[in-house]
Amino acid sequence: MRSMTSARITRTARTSRPRMRWGVAGVAATTAGLMIMAAGPAQAATPVGLGTATSFAVLAGAGVTNTGPTTLNGDLGTFPTTSISGAGSLTVTGTVHGGDAVTQDAKTDLVTAYGVAAGQASNQTVSADLAGTTLVSGVYTSASSMGLSGALTLDAAGDPDAVFVFQVGSALTVAAGSQVLLTNGAQACNVIWQVGSSATIGTGAAFRGTVIALTDITMVTGATVEGRLLARNGAVTLDTNVVTRPSCTSPTGGAGTTTAQDAAAQVAADEAASVAAAQLAAEQAAAGQTPAPSQVTVTPLGGVSTGDGSAWGEGPQRSTYAAPLTSALPTTGLPVDGLALGSVWVTAAG
């Protein structure tokens, strides 16, 4: 009898231990899961598509008024009120659509974009003044007004696709000299300010992001925006400003790059090639060698994003750049009859 009892006790102990260990592990796993959920937002911000409004730097519903020399790097349009005053001092690098069919389609897409931005689930309620704060990707909401009286930093944490959406219940007011700073891969094209009434960007402010306001948008003297000013029902007022429609870029400088970024990449490549040439010349001189007086010819065909290495023009434009053979030199792993600089083949002329 004692042995049977002992056997039963032994079996019971053996079967109960795994259950106890499983229970502790389950609690630990559940706790860890809760910690992870608490540490991150319940739902990440999602991109707000602008449709045909994407090409616009300024798009209004009740007209555009400008004072002083203002530059708009993007399209300009207004509908149903089609008046644009002060156009003589406007420099528009895009197309002035007025109230044409393109503008009307863009206004329709703007209404949709406004609803998409306003409808995203909020990750955090923010204070009335964003100055001095650093925010990661998310949806930030104020039930009433929102302001900026200093510097706001948007941190993408290394993700160039990080999206920042600001939902403003009433007015957005950016004080003079305030600025929005982008860090760790954050891009102005991924920043949206959905404003429930009007937006004012103060004197000399350096603002970033697309403003989608229900009513008016006012830019005070000297303010700049890397983004868009899209007034759904109201007017846009400008005064000696620069508004630049943003363009998203890939981390490797791919198809999303702009002409200016292509040019910067080419300048950097040229500088690196010059350094390599100087180093090679020094090595040859030290070895008693004389560099060959050969020339190379490069025929750029388009932007860097197309893969041919050019930053001077698009379409049929071509330019020829002659440089000493040493200006391109890596010296190993190359074909016998040519050298490669970036994605451009460089063939010796002599």
pLDDT tier at 64, thresholds 50, 70, 90: very high
Model confidence at 125: pLDDT above 70? yes
| pLDDT for res 37 | 29
Contact 329, 282 (CB under 8 A): no
Distance of CA 136 to the CA centre of its chain: 14
Distance of CA 100 to the CA centre of its chain: 29
| pLDDT for res 27 | 33
Model confidence at 176: pLDDT above 70? yes
List Cβ neighbours of 224 (8 Å cut-off, separation of 6 or more): 205, 206, 207, 241, 242, 243, 244
Residue spans of the domains in the chain: they are 51-244, 259-348
| pLDDT for res 308 | 39
pTM score > 0.95 for this model? no
With pLDDT > 70 as the criterion, what percentage of the chain qualifies? 59
Is the Cα torsion angle 94, 99, 101, 106 positive or negative in sign?
A: positive
Higher pLDDT: 156 or 36? It is 156
With pLDDT > 90 as the criterion, what percentage of the chain qualifies? 57
Identity (one letter) of the amino acid at 261? Q
Model confidence at 69: pLDDT above 90? yes
Closest CA to 58 of 302, 239, 183: 239
Q: Counting Cβ atoms within 10 Å, is residue 27 exposed (0-12), middle (13-18) or buried (19+)?
A: exposed
Closest CA to 216 of 200, 240, 192, 194: 200
As a whole number, mean pLDDT of residues 102-112 equals: 98
* Rounded distance between C-alpha atoms, residue 234 and residue 110, angstroms: 13
Closest CA to 349 of 331, 328, 332, 319: 328
| pLDDT for res 279 | 59
List Cβ neighbours of 154 (8 Å cut-off, separation of 6 or more): 134, 135, 164, 180, 181, 182, 183, 186, 191, 208
Provide the pairing of β-strand 191-195 with 151-155.
Answer: unpaired
* Rounded distance between C-alpha atoms, residue 258 and residue 54, angstroms: 15
As a whole number, mean pLDDT of residues 33-62 equals: 74
Closest CA to 228 of 24, 101, 51, 10: 51
258 phi and psi angles, rounded to 5 deg: -95, 170
Is the Cα torsion angle 310, 313, 317, 322 positive or negative in sign?
A: negative
| pLDDT for res 18 | 39
| pLDDT for res 29 | 35
Give the CA angle between residues 184, 117, 209 to the nearest 5°: 40
| pLDDT for res 280 | 59
| pLDDT for res 283 | 64
* Rounded distance between C-alpha atoms, residue 71 and residue 55, angstroms: 15
Higher pLDDT: 168 or 248? It is 168
| pLDDT for res 26 | 38
Model confidence at 264: pLDDT above 90? no
Residue whose tokens read 């449709």:
51
Buried residues in 277-307 as b, exposed as e (16+ CB within 10 A): beebbeeeeeeeeeeeeeebebebbbbbbee
As a whole number, mean pLDDT of residues 141-155 equals: 97
Model confidence at 262: pLDDT above 70? no
Cis status, amide bond into 80, omega within 30 of 0: yes
Model confidence at 52: pLDDT above 70? yes
pLDDT tier at 274, thresholds 50, 70, 90: low
Write the pLDDT tens digit of every residue in 198-212: 999 999 999 999 999
pLDDT tier at 286, thresholds 50, 70, 90: confident
Model confidence at 243: pLDDT above 90? yes
Element (DSSP H or E) covering residue 280: helix 259-286
| pLDDT for res 43 | 62
As a whole number, mean pLDDT of residues 164-192 equals: 98
Write the pLDDT tens digit of every residue in 303-330: 434 443 333 333 333 333 333 333 343 4
Write the pLDDT tens digit of every residue in 247-259: 988 653 333 333 3
* Rounded distance between C-alpha atoms, residue 174 and residue 219, angstroms: 10
SS3 246: coil
Write the pLDDT tens digit of every residue in 218-234: 999 999 999 999 999 99
- Partnered with residue 165 across adjacent β-strands are 139, 192
